[in-house]
Amino acid sequence: MKKIFNATIITLLFLVSPVFLRSVAASDVTVYLDGVELVYTLEAKPQIINDRTMVPIRETANQLGIEVTEYNPDTRTMTLMNGGSVIMHTLNTDFIIKDGMVEYFTPSTVVENRSLMPIRMLASAINAYVDWEDDTKSVVITTSGVFTPPPPDVGYGNLVPQPAGRPSVVSALPNKNNVAVGEEVVITVTATASTTQVRLMRAGVVVLAASEQYRQEGANKIFTISYTPAESTLLAQRLIVVAGENGVFNMESFQAFSLFVAKGLDIISVQTQSTTVNRGGTAVISIRADLGVTMVTLVDSLDGKVYEVQPSSSNESGSLFEFNIKMDEFGLHVFKVGITGPSGFRETNRTIEIDVTSTAASPLEITKIEYNNNASRDVGKRLPVIVTTNDMVDRIVVSDSSGKMLDRVNTYSPVSGGGRAFTLFVEILQNGQNNYIITAYDSTDTMQIDEPFNVPSTGQNTGSSNIGILLKSVEPDVTAAYIGDSVTVKVITPFGVDVSAKDPSGFTFTIFSENYNENISKRPLSDGGYEYTISIPVKEYGIYQIIGVRSNANPEIYYLSISHP
């Protein structure tokens, strides 16, 4: 009777023990990390348990660069460190807590006093892929994120049968498998009813945060993920979709697909006929781009003008885009290059510099431009300017930087020793630097020369008429407010202008300031410029400054007086 009882107890232990519930087989499993075989002792080797590869934890972790820093024998909980990542796991459970996020796997176990963990659980700690080669009985761990994927229409399905109620991915189908950089891919994901979120991952790293928008279809939920690759890869990218519920993602159930991202949308070369052009001359620019580019856009940072052309010719090496731009404004023009492809417009990191100088050699000569520094230079005032020329000049015209004529004179006074002195008037148009062009003509108007000229204003103008080149429009919602309130100012600028603001004490808060980032937002406009919305906290009454800055140009300042209501 005692033998029968003992046999019954042993049978029951066999049935209920987590170890005996599995089919345990010591096998010649080989584990590779980026092509290098991991080394194990005879006492601690990988095993196939219930069709899952289980590995000794400490021996494998050490070779993966993971440090087991702490183990609590009472709770059977261990802490692992990989760089800055902290991973916690309790033996005989089916999840890890990685940097505060829960990920599900096959449960770990203990066999013959040896702690074993599914290889995927450890690989997740180093953001690596795990593939199984059945012919060689090998586990291949890849940390580079580059590998040869299966055909595009093959998914991976559940790694183990999923318990009812656990979030799982049924399918993940991209609308295309070959795209160019910057081209959108839409992935339709079918998941089980308990799923509340899905996310896209690559090489163990989250590519897109969880998508929570879905529609019900029978017992399943349909999610849509929009993914735009930002870089091309030599081999196809392997992307996986995992399902989660309330922020906890099930890493044992995923679907994978391959995506080949071609370079396809970029500038190949840029050529300019000359980097220096006379005012009124033509800048000839040739740009060769990939065949996926349908339009090239140039945005002039100096005057904000936008130029767009479609390809003039195409061949197997790419498309040619040709620009012929008349250069009417003095100074260094820095063109930012943008391209348009199947997914729309994007800026590139290419720039083109064209320096516009005075016109070609002429017998006309402007020898001096001067004004009285003590004269009023407040906005709206007319400032007398004396222009001295040689005897070939018969007429002088002054224009603002936009080409609008401000004054013209054809009377002059002779200058001792030769030459002529013309007196004209320029209007101070804005606070800060005022830019003008002085043009000299001969008696028949067949010859002319241009000379740039600038005048800094004095005093302060608090009116709304202070509109310049960099600050095209400045519109505060109010000019009277209580201390503690905010004043909203809308500023429109050309492309390439940075906007900042100063309070009456001189403290500057800008779009780059960590302290005041929330106070300034920027919206692109159809003409290539931007609309800034600035929220100015009123801490004191006085003159606030709105400042427009651009490289190779003098800053412009708008003075805003904020007073008590």
Position 39 pLDDT exceeds 50: yes
Q: Residue 465: its pLDDT value, please?
A: 38
Q: What is the pLDDT of residue 236?
A: 54
**In three state form, how does the secondary structure of 223-280 look?**
EEEEECCCCCCCCCEEEEEEEEECCEEEEEEEEEEEEEEECCCCEEEEEECCCEEECC
Give pLDDT, residue 11. Answer: 37
CB 365 within 8 A of CB 449: yes
Comparing 549 with 173, the larger pLDDT belongs to 173
User: Is 444 in the same domain as 536?
Assistant: no
| Greatest C-alpha distance within the chain | 139
Structural domain boundaries, residue 552:
473-562
11-15: average pLDDT: 37
**Mean pLDDT in residue range 516-527:** 70
**Comparison of pLDDT for 21 and 119, the residue scoring more:** 119
| Residues 125, 166 share a domain | no
- Of 357, 391, 423, the residue at which a domain comes to its end is 357
- Per residue in 81-116, pLDDT tens? 887 778 888 888 888 887 767 677 888 998 888 889
Residue 40 is predicted with a pLDDT of 82
Q: What is the CATH number of the domain that holds 531?
A: 2.60.40.10
Number of independent structural domains in the chain: 5
In the chain, % of residues over pLDDT 70 = 79
Looking at the structure, tell me whether residues 444 and 383 fall in a common domain.
yes
Confirm if 501 and 510 have CB atoms less than 8 A apart: yes
Q: What is the pLDDT of residue 242?
A: 86
Whether 217 shows a pLDDT value over 60: the answer reads yes
CB within 8 Å of 129: residues ≥ 6 apart: 123, 141, 142, 143, 145, 147, 203, 204, 238
Instruction: Give dist(CA 379, CA 429) in Å, integer.
Output: 6
Q: Which residues pair with 388 in a beta bridge?
A: 368, 421
Q: What is the mean pLDDT of residues 394-414?
A: 84
Let me know: does 449 contact 427? Beta carbons within 8 Å.
no
More confident residue, 159 or 505: 505
- Is 190 a domain residue? yes
CATH number at residue 92: 3.30.457.10
**Does some domain include residue 90?**
yes
For residues 207 and 279, membership in a common domain is answered with no
What is residue 333's predicted lDDT score, i.e. its pLDDT?
93
Q: Is residue 233 part of a domain?
A: yes
Residue 278, pLDDT score: 76
Nearest to 341 by CA among 294, 290, 291: 294
Q: What is the CATH number of the domain that holds 280?
A: 2.60.40.1930
Q: Both 271 and 244 in a single domain?
A: no
Q: Is residue 55 part of a domain?
A: yes
Position of tokens 């019954």?
8
With pLDDT > 90 as the criterion, what percentage of the chain qualifies?
A: 10
Q: Using the predicted structure, report yes or no on whether residue 19 has a pLDDT greater than 50.
A: no
My answer on whether 195 and 240 are in the same domain is yes
pLDDT at 490 over 50: yes
Question: Domain boundary residue among 114, 139, 164?
Answer: 139
Region 398-426: mean pLDDT is: 84
Selected residue with higher pLDDT from 344 and 207:
207
Is residue 464 one of the residues assigned to a domain?
no
| Residue 410 falls inside a structural domain | yes
Asked if the model's pLDDT at residue 41 lies above 70, the reply is: yes
Of the listed ranges 137-141, 168-172, 501-505, the least confidently predicted one is 501-505
The mean-pLDDT minimum among 70-74, 422-426, 543-547 falls in 543-547
Average pLDDT over residues 155-180: 70
pLDDT, one tens digit per residue, over 509-519 is 655 433 344 56
> 342-346, 370-374, 495-499, 530-534: which range is least confident on average?
342-346
Instruction: Return the pLDDT at 464.
Output: 36
Considering the chain, what is the average pLDDT of its residues?
A: 77
Condensed to tens digits (0 to 9), the pLDDT of residues 417-444 reads: 888 999 888 878 777 788 888 998 887 7
Given a cut of 50, whether residue 230 has pLDDT beyond it is yes
Average pLDDT over residues 524-551: 81
The answer to whether residues 29 and 133 belong to one domain is: yes
Of the given ranges (208-217, 335-344, 393-402, 465-474), which has the lowest mean pLDDT?
465-474
Please check whether residue 461 lies inside any domain of the structure. Answer: no
Q: Which residue has the higher pLDDT, 71 or 550?
A: 71
Same domain, 190 and 232: yes
Residue 62 reports pLDDT greater than 70: yes
Is there a single domain that holds both residue 443 and residue 547?
no
Residue 204 has what pLDDT?
66
Task: Indicate whether 187 pLDDT > 50.
Answer: yes
pLDDT confidence tier of residue 462, bands split at 50, 70 and 90: very low
Is the domain of 36 the same as that of 121? yes
Q: Is the pLDDT of residue 158 over 60?
A: no
Q: Is the pLDDT of residue 154 over 50?
A: no
287, pLDDT greater than 90: yes
3-class SS at 284? strand
Predicted pLDDT at 88: 84
For residues 221 and 192, the answer to whether their CB atoms sit within 8 Å is yes
Q: What is the pLDDT of residue 20?
A: 38
Q: Clarify whether residues 23 and 135 are in a common domain.
A: yes
Confidence of residue 285 (pLDDT cuts 50, 70, 90): very high
Separation CA 25–CA 23 (nearest Å)? 6
pLDDT score at 1: 39
**Boundary residue ending a domain (309, 327, 357):** 357
What's residue 83's pLDDT? 75
384 in a structural domain: yes
Is the Cβ–Cβ distance between 545 and 502 less than 8 Å?
yes
> pLDDT tier at 12 (50, 70, 90 boundaries)?
very low
- Same domain flag for 135 and 45: yes
Strand locations in 266-372, DSSP E? 267-272, 276-278, 282-289, 295-300, 306-309, 313-315, 318-326, 331-341, 344-357, 366-371
Between 355 and 564, residue with greater pLDDT: 355
For residue 63, which of 144, 141, 147, 145 has the smallest C-alpha distance? Answer: 141
Q: What is the rounded distance in angstroms from the CA atom of residue 414 to the CA atom of residue 417?
A: 9
- Asked if 379 and 386 touch (Cβ cutoff 8 Å), the reply is no
At residue 366, what are phi and psi to the nearest 5 degrees?
-100, 115
